Amino acid sequence: MSAPALDVAELIRELVRTPTVSGDAAGQRGLLGLVADVATGVAPHLQRIEGPDPEQPWTLLTSATDPARPRLVIACHVDTVPAGDPGGWQRDPFGADLDDGRIWGRGASDMKAGVVAAVAALAAADPETPLALLLTSDEEIGSRGAAAAAGAVADLSVGAVIVPEATGNRVVLGHRGALWLAVRTRGVAAHGSTPERGHNALLDLVAVLGRAGRELPLTSEPFLGAETWNPGVLHSGTVPNVVPDRAEVVVDQRTVGTGERLTAWWRSQAEVSEVDVLVDLPAVRTPADDPWVATLPVEVQAAPATYFTDASVLTAVTGGAPIVVWGPGTPAVMHAVDEHVEVVEAQQAAAAFADVLARWPR
Report whether 8 contacts 116 (CB < 8 A): yes
Rounded distance between C-alpha atoms, residue 211 and residue 77, angstroms: 37
Determine contact, residues 76/46, Cβ cutoff 8 Å: no
**Contact, 159 vs 321, CB < 8 A?**
yes
Give the chain's end-to-end CA distance (angstroms, integer).
20
Cα gap 110→98, rounded to integer Å:
17
Q: For residue range 164-192, what is the model confidence (pLDDT) as tens digits?
A: 999 999 999 999 999 999 999 999 999 99
Q: How confident is the model at residue 355, as a pLDDT?
A: 96
Cα dist from 54 to 23, 103, 111, 140, 314, whole Å? 12, 30, 22, 18, 21
Per-residue confidence at 1, pLDDT binned at 50, 70, 90?
very low
User: Looking at residue 276, what is its pLDDT?
Assistant: 98
Rg (the chain; Cα; Å): 22
Averaged pLDDT score across all residues of the chain: 96
Q: What is the mean pLDDT of residues 43-58?
A: 96
Has this prediction a pTM greater than 0.75?
yes
Instruction: Give the pairing type, strands 323-325 and 177-186.
Output: unpaired
Q: What whole-number distance in Å separates Cα of residue 28 and Cα of residue 24?
A: 6
Q: What is the pLDDT of residues 295-332, one digit of tens each?
A: 999 999 999 999 999 999 999 999 999 999 999 999 99
CB contact set of 183 (below 8 Å; sequence gap of 6+): 205, 208, 248, 249, 250, 251, 266, 272, 274, 275
Return all residues near 125 (Cβ < 8 A) that are at least 6 apart: 43, 63, 131, 354, 357, 358
Taking alpha carbons only, the member of 10, 88, 15 closest to residue 338 is 88
Q: Is 215 exposed, middle or buried (0-12, 13-18, 19+ CB in 10 A)?
A: exposed
Distances (CA, A) of 120 to 197, 220, 359: 66, 38, 16
The helix or strand, by DSSP H or E, that contains position 214, with its residue range, turns out to be helix 201-215
Residue 3 pLDDT class (50, 70, 90 cuts): very low
Between 2 and 191, residue with greater pLDDT: 191
Find residue 252's DSSP bridge partners. Answer: 180, 230
Letter for the amino acid at 60?
Answer: L
| pLDDT of 261 above 80 | yes
For the segment 60-118, what is each residue's pLDDT rounded down to a tens digit? 999 988 888 999 999 999 999 999 999 999 999 999 999 999 999 999 999 999 999 99
